[in-house]
Amino acid sequence: MSTRVRNGLSETRTTPAEVIELCRRQEIKMVDYRFADLVGTWQHFSSPVKELEESIFVDGIGFDGSSIRGFQRIDQSDMLLVPDANTARIDPLLRIPTLLLICDVVDPVTRERYTRDPRYVAQKAEAYLVKTGIATTSYWGPEAEFFVFDDVRYDQSPHAAFYSVDAAEGIWNSGRDEKPNLGHKPRHKEGYFPVPPADSLQDFRSGLVLKMQEAGLEVEVHHHEVASAGQCEIDLRFTSLTDMGDQMMAYKYLVKMYAREHFKTVTFMPKPLFGDNGSGMHCHQSLWKNGTNVFHDPDGYAQVSETGLHYIGGLLAHSPALMAFCAPTTNSYRRLVPGFEAPVNLVYSKRNRSAAVRIPVYSTSPRSKRIEYRPPDPSANPYLAFAGMLLAGIDGIKNKIDPGKPMDVDLYDLEASEAAKIKQLPGTLDEALAALERDHKFLLEGGVFTRDLIETWIELKRTKEIDHVRMRPHPAEFFLYYDV
């Protein structure tokens, strides 16, 4: 791969001195230090640019780890952030010229990397891949979908609960008095691919893409998605695992910030609307060894090699556990519902979007051969989700896991007796966490994940999210049961 340049800097060999020179050249006023918490939300703090010295890239900057979700206890709260010079990018949206630096989390006493730092998990996954000898690089191309709304309101209290979202192009506004209402609002499930004016967000997405490019993200395509009410997708060019994790964090930040500048609001919730398509994050992935795509075989099924099929076998075998990281919210399972378009069936196929694994056949070029894993959604922490998928695939290759025969049929048209034979994903987050408890040995290989991280993840999800939802009356229950 050729070296890419971001903001005038060589991405693969940027030095602290070059970062400081960039700040001088671009008249940067502030430096923003960013890192992901365990759940996958970017955290940050800033300092004046004059405080940026080369020593910071070695010594780090202190912060309170006890205030970050999934990190330290209060009696062990002191932690360090060590900036990665290769991640330097200028924020294209903040009014004050600001440089962004993604940081690694380090223990100040041992000076060792922090095992609950999601970015460290991604880096260890890449190193483990090389150590296995299977490949030298994994490439990732997630397709993160999101909704662009014009208004959102929600509240939760002991005696009340509600949410309400609205979008100018929502089909439910076709009869609203807008003085005048100009129509052209996509009907449910008909938002893919009508041109403007039905696609009211063309310029919005184009402007957003230009800002992403300013930040060093390589964008391949953007378009409206299937749902009404502003569902969109912007696809980044594939890159290596940790780099794509970094880019996805920047991607979500830029989308939300650009929307706010335009008096809109974006959500990456998998299922904010009832009765219309949810938002997924289909993950294209391939393994390469010294410049050769090890997933390609011109004589294989859909031109996929035996190694690629075993990788698929690993993904399918470990999918129930993977969902704890790839579909990690209670809302994820409003999207992953059997009988609809969601990819809940643990089978693979070429071209078939009703399977958990799809093999694209747009091209016969060896360079284009990849597999697409469709269950993940954009609520996932990308570092943990990508690392988990890679480890599942590696386990499939090492143990030669047979993915079975491909299913080149519409799975929703199968006879009930045949459909019953197909394994499916968990139906709730609680089921996914239980699967992770049973099946996580593959994640521990190479020390990539730790038992501590997995146990912390399960506890956090159960106590802070699952219990929060299941202990509260649901508004739909009043509709169903108030008159019992």
The catalytic position among 91, 169, 199, 233 is: 233
Does the annotation mark 75 as catalytic? no
Q: Are 270 and 378 in contact (CB under 8 A)?
A: yes
Backbone angles phi, psi at 8, to 5 degrees: 85, 0
Q: Are 392 and 315 in contact (CB under 8 A)?
A: yes
Angle, nearest 10°, between helix axes 118-132 and 382-398? 20
Does the annotation mark 13 as catalytic? no
Residues 398, 203: Cα–Cα separation, whole Å: 47
Residues 260, 150: Cα–Cα separation, whole Å: 10
DSSP one-letter code for 66 = G
Does the annotation mark 169 as catalytic? no
The catalytic position among 6, 224, 358, 374 is: 374
Structure tokens at 477: 């229950």
Q: Are 62 and 55 in contact (CB under 8 A)?
A: no
Does the annotation mark 64 as catalytic? yes
Q: Nearest CA to 441 among 400, 401, 402, 391?
A: 391
Does the annotation mark 143 as catalytic? yes
Which residue has 């739909």 as its token pair?
476
Does the annotation mark 243 as catalytic? no
DSSP one-letter code for 194 = P
Sign of the CA dihedral running 402, 407, 412, 413: negative
Give the up-direction half-sphere exposure of residue 81: CA atoms within 13 A in the CB hemisphere.
21
Structure tokens at 319: 């999918």
The catalytic position among 143, 150, 169, 243 is: 143
Three-state secondary-structure class, residue 51:
helix
The catalytic position among 282, 296, 310, 358 is: 282
The catalytic position among 126, 225, 297, 430 is: 225
The catalytic position among 37, 104, 126, 145 is: 145
Sign of the CA dihedral running 115, 118, 123, 125: positive
Q: Nearest CA to 230 among 342, 162, 151?
A: 151
The catalytic position among 54, 64, 151, 418 is: 64
DSSP one-letter code for 3 = P
The catalytic position among 111, 176, 351, 353 is: 353
Does the annotation mark 54 as catalytic? no
Q: Which residues of 329-350 are buried (b: 16+ CB within 10 A; e: fewer)?
A: bbbbbbbbeeeeebbbbbbbbb
Residues 358, 348: Cα–Cα separation, whole Å: 6
Three-state secondary-structure class, residue 373:
strand
Q: Are 147 and 205 in contact (CB under 8 A)?
A: no
Q: Which amino acid would we find at residue 334?
A: R
Q: Does residue 353 come out as left (phi exceeding 0), alpha (psi in the -120 to 50 range) or beta?
A: alpha
Q: Nearest CA to 324 among 140, 455, 171, 232?
A: 455
Which residue has 């143990």 as its token pair?
399
User: Residues with Cβ < 8 Å from 292, sequence gap 6 or more?
Assistant: 366
Residues annotated as part of the active site: 64, 143, 145, 225, 233, 282, 353, 372, 374
